[in-house]
Structure 1
Amino acid sequence: MTTTKHIATVNGFTITQRLIGHKDTYFVAHRRGQNGATDTVFTAKRLSYLENKVKDISPVG
């Protein structure tokens, strides 16, 4: 069973939480590029690591 929950939008990235089974959870950040394709995807076990990573990247536009 996989459950996805929207957490936040930071610097153009959509951050979601993915729960796999009953115990394993991780966070995913992705955003769309200029042409509509997925630009960048990051994954992390801790939300704070992911937020720090996406804050350092310039916004699309």
Structure 2
Amino acid sequence: SPCYDPARMATTMELLHDKYFNKEPLPVPVSELRVPLTRNTKDEDSVELVPVSPYSFLELDGFE
């Protein structure tokens, strides 16, 4: 299978030029990501978006 043959796999540079990375919504730097302050909210208009750190998933999983 071509997927598992390292000699036939796409390179990182080939993948970075894939249409996935060049169509809307475009990727943004981690420093510009915003997430809802809480997960459970019924009123989406009142959700406060806050910056997220690249390691915030560790805090959510109890790895503080």
Q: TM-score, normalised by structure 1?
A: 0.29
Tell me which protein shows more helix as a share of its residues.
Answer: 2
Q: TM-score, normalised by structure 2?
A: 0.28
Tell me which protein shows more strand as a share of its residues.
Answer: 1
* Structure (1 or 2) with the larger CA radius of gyration: 2
* Structure with bigger RCO (C-alpha 8 Å, 6+ apart): 1
